[in-house]
Structure 1
Amino acid sequence: MSRLPLAGRRVVHWAKFYPPHRGGMESVAAALAQAACQDGASVEVVAFDPARRPAAAPPADGLPAPRVLRCPVRWALASQPLSWRYLWRAWRTARQASLVHLHAPNMLALLPALLLPRQGPGRVPLVVHWHSDVVDKGWLGRLVAPLERALLRRADRVIVTSAPYAQGSLRLRQVRGLRERQRVVPIGVAAPGAGRASPDPGDGAATLAGVQDWLAGRRLLLALGRLVPYKGFEVLLQALTRVDPRAALVLVGQGPQADALQAQVQALGLADRVRLLPEVDDAGRDALLSAAQVFCLPSVARAEAFGVVLVEAMAHGVPVVATHIPGSGVPWVNQHMVSGLNVPPGDAAALAAALNQLLADEPLRRHLAQGARQRHQEAFSQARAWAATLAVYREVLPENAGIRPVLPA
């Protein structure tokens, strides 16, 4: 028997987007797909691609890699991309799969998932990775709710990223008997410099050099994320007016709030203390995280279900200031006085006080930096996340079934 646990299996991921598109769900899908490849599986990923990128070249390091089937976005509805090709490729890949791993929320993927056979020789096990509830979608959310409940009833296993988020999710609680099929698998992040395709260190050095020139000796506060309302970056800018002027903020991200945030920076008189950067590559992120004194995630709503960037900061030993969002996994990921500080969401004064406390108290900052790195190693390593995911796969994959040939998609 092969020593690779997934040898001969065909694992298919249905993702919303996929790297180089930046985001927490995307990084999780990529890490799990790559890990399955290295454990012997043939892996395909179906994902939307707004940029219509060409097919990726084989990895230069020769390691096995997933086959990514990118589908152009024909339409979009309330931030949900739509494409007939996505539906076709999802269904086509599922017919040949040993297992389908669906990353939710992804409204379009609900439809082919509900058609997967549950019994008989054509049965396809379905693992649903519940990254977040569908929130703030109005009539569309109400329309999709019955389909989500049907999806959760159909799923053989449902992965949630933290127990607090599962307990706070009305949708998960609505499905009778789901708890027995639900598994908590916290998101894992590779240690700095590991698990990536050798980024050019020169790129990170150039990014950091530009930021350090601008800082001119000031201490670096860092925030990363999509520029969207639930991230609470406008609250962080308000808080910065009360933060020690010997610190400056670098905010890295893109999104629909970019212009509004830039205008707020000007209106608050913070032009010399805030630098907004578009997305930087992995080497640039690593360099900024390594240089930061404090990392801040000021999110204000449960749409922030976990906060993958928190774990990235912890992996670099950076103390965190985050928010205590009810029903979210964020305050569980960033444990108060262990890896950082948590404050009430939307409270600029409390956020400023926490930032000032860490900037002024070096022993505390060092203690939390050590706690952050230790928490990453003990709870959020990439190896731990993959081992837990593989255990879920083994629960639904029969020992001698699911070994299928790879056919053209």
Structure 2
Amino acid sequence: MDTKAVQCYRTFFPESQGGLEQVVLEIARGGGGEVLTLSDRGASSGEYSGVRYRTARRWFSVASCCVGPGLFLEVLKNSSGVLHFHFPWPFGDLVYAVAGRSRPLVITYHSDIVRQRWLGSLYRPLMHWFLRRADRIVATSANYVESSDVLRAYRDKVEVIPLGIAEGLYPSLERSCVESVKAKYGTDFMLFVGVLRYYKGLEFLIRAAAGRPYPIVIAGKGPEEERLRELASQLGAKNVHFTGFVDDDEKMALMQLCRAVVLPSHLRSEAFGVTLIEGLMSSKPLVSCELGTGTSYVNVHGQTGFVVQPASPKSLRQALDRLWESPDLAERMGRAGRLRYEALFTGERMVRAYIDLYCRVLRERGLGV
């Protein structure tokens, strides 16, 4: 039996750009497996950053749940020893139920279902069947295990593996790229990087930023972009800049040039925050909100940055003001953040933990290793 795991998630590079896509890439690359996913471009195969992927056509999406029946066949054809699904993705549960053939199953539980509660009630029986079938459920932080009613019900099979990113996967910065980004946005701005989704709390960041002396750079695209641009215009927040999509070179140039990285997410859908790890890696202080999730495990209040009240422009403004007014404090917190990244959140550390887990699951199933 192949000890490699296949990663199953609803989206992947190069079609989409986000923290979970980065995590799936890191695990697949380190573990030598491939990625099965959906794409608006239809059935295809290819390679991204050294990782093989196969796509089935995405037919439609309902409440962020992507559906593409071709994925049933892709899972059936795959010969990996372990199927690794990333939750929540209700269609993924169904794919395993139909095509998983009782193969070893690892689920990384990234988030509770927060907003789609009426759909959640219909989905609950399938969800619990799926979680019961799992050999292991991986939570990304102990904080999330303690604060999730769902995870507490499966505590006997839950393990904690924090997310991590490999610095070597990021591009070396070219001076020309840094100078280009600097010409557009300057330096010492407060930086958000990510997909512009409803739970990211960006409306509160924009309200906090209105009238402040420092720039805010919002890097990324997503379904909330038009609404957020309109809000910034209504508030006269001319210091808020939207970059749209940025590639890895531009993103790392922004990280180098910023004063701090801010993740204003206000709902539990934000279970960890890969952009926070990128901030630690880049020696930048962080500003995040207390959600009872992994964000407050990554960002230690008063040490690597500030953890503030969610959905509160005033609290965000106070934290950003402190980092703007005290560059020495920002630098000290950035150095502490870099040390925390090296100790806890490297991609190598995460991948080793997953490979060990896959091997243990296969041995418990009597499949060797």
Identity over the aligned pairs, expressed in percent?
29
In structure 1, what is the equivalent of residue 269 of structure 2?
303
Letter in 2 for 1:11: A
In structure 1, what is the equivalent of residue 125 of structure 2?
146
Structure 1 residues 170, 353: CA separation in 2 closer, same or farther (over 3 Å shift)?
same
Q: Matches of residues 2-401 of structure 1 in structure 2 within 5 Å?
A: 8-20=2-14, 21-37=16-32, 43-52=33-42, 55-56=45-46, 65-93=50-78, 96-114=79-97, 124-173=103-152, 175=153, 178-191=154-167, 194-196=168-170, 199=171, 201-202=173-174, 205-206=176-177, 208-215=178-185, 219-241=188-210, 243=212, 245=213, 247-271=214-238, 273-325=239-291, 327-398=292-363
Letter in 2 for 1:294: A
- SS in structure 2 at match of 1:277: strand
In the TM superposition, residue 210 of structure 1 has moved relative to its aligned partner by 3.9
Return the alpha-carbon distance in structure 2 between the equivalents of residues 330 and 141 of structure 1. 24
- SS in structure 1 at match of 2:169: coil
Structure 1 residues 8, 23: CA separation in 2 closer, same or farther (over 3 Å shift)?
same
In the TM superposition, residue 228 of structure 1 has moved relative to its aligned partner by 1.6
Q: Say whether the 8 Å CA contact 1:97–1:124 is kept in structure 2.
A: no
Q: Say whether the 8 Å CA contact 2:4–2:31 is kept in structure 1.
A: no
Letter in 1 for 2:122: L
In the TM superposition, residue 233 of structure 1 has moved relative to its aligned partner by 0.6
Q: Which has the higher Rg, Structure 1 or Structure 2?
A: 1
Structure 1 residues 369, 10: CA separation in 2 closer, same or farther (over 3 Å shift)?
closer
Return the alpha-carbon distance in structure 2 between the equivalents of residues 35 and 267 of structure 1. 46
Q: Say whether the 8 Å CA contact 2:290–2:309 is kept in structure 1.
A: yes
- SS in structure 1 at match of 2:143: helix
Return the alpha-carbon distance in structure 2 between the equivalents of residues 213 and 351 of structure 1. 27
In the TM superposition, residue 9 of structure 1 has moved relative to its aligned partner by 2.8
- SS in structure 2 at match of 1:103: strand
Structure 1 residues 242, 331: CA separation in 2 closer, same or farther (over 3 Å shift)?
farther
Return the alpha-carbon distance in structure 1 between the equivalents of residues 353 and 125 of structure 2. 29
Q: CA offsets, 1:113-151, max 9 Å, x none?
A: 23577xxxx852111111111221132211111211111
The CA RMSD measured in Å over matched residues stands at: 2.3
Q: Say whether the 8 Å CA contact 1:8–1:403 is kept in structure 2.
A: no
Q: Say whether the 8 Å CA contact 1:165–1:329 is kept in structure 2.
A: yes
- SS in structure 2 at match of 1:69: strand
- SS in structure 2 at match of 1:89: helix
Structure 1 residues 215, 254: CA separation in 2 closer, same or farther (over 3 Å shift)?
closer
Structure 1 residues 51, 313: CA separation in 2 closer, same or farther (over 3 Å shift)?
farther
Structure 1's unaligned 5+ residue stretches are: 1-6, 38-42, 60-64, 405-409
Return the alpha-carbon distance in structure 2 between the equivalents of residues 341 and 58 of structure 1. 35
Return the alpha-carbon distance in structure 2 between the equivalents of residues 205 and 255 of structure 1. 28
Letter in 2 for 1:240: A
In the TM superposition, residue 242 of structure 1 has moved relative to its aligned partner by 5.0
- SS in structure 1 at match of 2:45: coil
Q: Say whether the 8 Å CA contact 1:114–1:154 is kept in structure 2.
A: no
Q: Say whether the 8 Å CA contact 2:189–2:257 is kept in structure 1.
A: yes
In the TM superposition, residue 214 of structure 1 has moved relative to its aligned partner by 3.7
Report the TM-score when normalising by structure 2: 0.93
Q: Say whether the 8 Å CA contact 2:2–2:80 is kept in structure 1.
A: no
Structure 1 residues 399, 166: CA separation in 2 closer, same or farther (over 3 Å shift)?
closer
Structure 1 residues 33, 402: CA separation in 2 closer, same or farther (over 3 Å shift)?
farther
Q: Say whether the 8 Å CA contact 1:114–1:151 is kept in structure 2.
A: yes
Q: Say whether the 8 Å CA contact 1:224–1:252 is kept in structure 2.
A: yes
140-149 vs 313-322, which moves further: 140-149
Structure 2's unaligned 5+ residue stretches are: none
In the TM superposition, residue 281 of structure 1 has moved relative to its aligned partner by 0.9
Report the TM-score when normalising by structure 1: 0.84
In the TM superposition, residue 402 of structure 1 has moved relative to its aligned partner by 4.6
Aligned length: 368
In the TM superposition, residue 8 of structure 1 has moved relative to its aligned partner by 4.8
Return the alpha-carbon distance in structure 1 between the equivalents of residues 138 and 67 of structure 2. 25
Structure 1 residues 346, 284: CA separation in 2 closer, same or farther (over 3 Å shift)?
same
Return the alpha-carbon distance in structure 2 between the equivalents of residues 283 and 28 of structure 1. 18
Structure 1 residues 58, 401: CA separation in 2 closer, same or farther (over 3 Å shift)?
farther
